[in-house]
């Protein structure tokens, strides 16, 4: 039986939102935290709790039960000062093995390693880049984020063979054991519903094991 965890995701860019949706889909109790109200409104239906707050506000952050979380992902590194302050709050109140912090570049990595005694720091783009050579020939791939172990999230344009087909008919979950987490179309997000017909303007955020994603990408190449 799968163990249900209480997980906080702090900072909701594309990676953070996709992570929230996947963790929620797996049945975990997910608390999504971001300082932008629109972002919180967009994610509230995909998690247990969605909270708009400044994570550098120690009192407000602790009020969300952060000490009781089994895992805490600090996923947005755009504002490095805020990331440092938030990490310091987490280190002060939470066991180090529960804290996972994202860095954006080698300077941030070095600072985090020297300043904090936490379980893991990661750069999803850097980790995913190590595996992208397998998929580089496929022009449909956009951003790629490594999550953990051999799992990743990638952005892909809708393959031609899936255009104008409803999601329920392509059924990539049963065929490739991967999941569509989100559909992006320019500046908006579209709900992933079985009846939605894919268009050439859609970009899919897909989650799964790297080998299964490679099988999916390979299958889309037009002979």
Residue pair 178/216 in contact by the 8 Å Cβ criterion: yes
Instruction: Look up residue 158 and give its two tokens.
Output: 């809708």
* Numbered ranges of CATH 3.40.50.720 in the chain: 6-122
Topology of domain 128-220 in CATH is Alpha-Beta Plaits (3.30.70)
Topology of domain 6-122 in CATH is Rossmann fold (3.40.50)
Angle at 173 between CA 168 and CA 174, to 5 degrees: 95
CA distances from 24 to 130, 148, 193, 219 (A): 27, 16, 16, 28
Rounded Cα distance, 189 and 202, in Å: 9
* Numbered ranges of CATH 3.30.70.1450 in the chain: 128-220
Residue pair 217/162 in contact by the 8 Å Cβ criterion: no
In the prediction, which pLDDT does 136 show?
44
Per-residue pLDDT of the chain (223 residues; tens, 9 = 90+): 457 899 999 999 888 898 898 899 888 999 999 999 999 999 999 999 999 999 999 999 999 999 999 999 998 767 888 999 999 999 999 998 899 998 888 888 888 888 888 778 877 766 555 554 444 444 445 566 666 556 778 888 888 888 999 998 988 888 898 888 888 887 788 888 889 999 988 888 888 888 888 888 887 764 4
**How much is the pTM?**
0.63
């Amino acid at each position: 039986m799968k163990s249900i965890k209480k997980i906080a995701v702090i900072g909701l860019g594309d990676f953070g939102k996709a992570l929230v949706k996947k963790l929620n889909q797996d049945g975990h109790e997910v608390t999504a935290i971001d300082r932008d109200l629109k972002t919180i409104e967009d994610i509230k239906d995909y998690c247990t709790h969605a909270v708009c707050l400044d994570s550098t506000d120690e009192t407000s952050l602790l009020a969300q039960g952060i000490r009781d979380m089994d895992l805490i992902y600090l996923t947005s590194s755009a504002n490095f000062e805020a990331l440092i302050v938030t990490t310091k709050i987490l280190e002060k109140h939470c066991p180090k093995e529960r804290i996972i912090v994202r860095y954006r570049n080698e300077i941030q990595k070095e600072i985090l390693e020297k300043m904090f005694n936490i379980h893991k720091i990661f750069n999803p783009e850097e980790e995913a880049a190590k595996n992208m050579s397998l998929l580089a020939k496929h022009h449909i791939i956009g951003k790629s984020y490594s999550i953990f172990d051999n799992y990743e999230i990638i952005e892909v344009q809708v393959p031609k063979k899936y255009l104008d087909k409803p999601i329920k008919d392509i059924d990539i979950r049963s065929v490739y054991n991967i999941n569509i987490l989100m559909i992006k179309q320019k500046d908006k997000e579209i709900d992933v519903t079985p009846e939605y017909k894919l268009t050439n303007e859609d970009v899919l955020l897909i989650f799964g094991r790297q080998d299964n994603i490679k099988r999916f990408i390979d299958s889309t190449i037009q002979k």
